[in-house]
Homo-oligomer: A and B are copies of this chain.
Amino acid sequence: MTSLIATGRPDSRLAALLDKGVPSMAIQDDKSVANRLFFRLFQASNILQKQTVGQVGLSTVQWAVLGALSRKGYEDGISFNQLTEYLIVSRQNLDGVLKRLERDDHVKRIPHPDDKRARLILLTDKGRAFWESLQPKIHEFYAQGLANFTFDETVSLLHYLNKFQKDLEAIAMQEAPNAEREES
């Protein structure tokens, strides 16, 4: 019931699959390819988490937070809210991560000068030095993770991921419309 083998698609697509090295037994239809793609992203993310901890010594969130704060132009901090949007993590999640980074004296939160509700997050001197000290490990990690990628292939993968992310992000927008009408 759930496996439709033949869907009357032209052979060119099959040929493309075979060109890419996909085992012919695995080829069924669009749904199968989509399922494989989503599952592969799930697996790849799991490996990325494990290897980042193993090779760099940070969780992926911490790596992302420190990387975001160390960017040029953010020496005076970035607002908590902007940071959640940049990293695509919930406020509540970021709060916990920052708590632990503050405990280790790697980041600090200060009141926002223009908005008494808001906070600015920035690296401490210790945090900046720590981040700098990790750079060799991190670049070595990048290099190993892309060992068999040409420059052009890396750019292509990045391009597709950008595109995929945009599509994924757009989904939830559709069910917002009914948030407007409560009563007449």
On whether the beta carbons of B135 and A88 are closer than 8 Å, the reply is no
On whether the beta carbons of B48 and A168 are closer than 8 Å, the reply is yes
CA distance A88 to B151 in the complex (A): 28
On whether the beta carbons of B40 and A158 are closer than 8 Å, the reply is yes
Q: A24 contacts the other chain (Cβ, under 8 Å)?
A: no
Min distance, Cβ A64 to any Cβ of chain B, angstroms: 6
CA distance A9 to B21 in the complex (A): 31
Q: A92 contacts the other chain (Cβ, under 8 Å)?
A: no
Min distance, Cβ A122 to any Cβ of chain B, angstroms: 17
CA distance A39 to B20 in the complex (A): 26
Stretch touching chain B among A26-34, A74-82, A99-107, A112-120 = A26-34
Of the residues B33, B144, B164, contact of A145 by C-beta under 8 Å = B164
A-B contacts, 13 of them at CB < 8 A, read: A2-B135, A9-B151, A20-B159, A34-B145, A40-B165, A43-B87, A43-B88, A44-B161, A46-B88, A48-B168, A145-B164, A147-B170, A156-B160
Chain A interface (Cβ within 8 Å of chain B)? 2-3, 9, 13, 16-17, 20-22, 30-31, 33-48, 50-51, 54-55, 60, 63-64, 67, 72, 87-89, 132, 135, 139, 141-149, 151-172
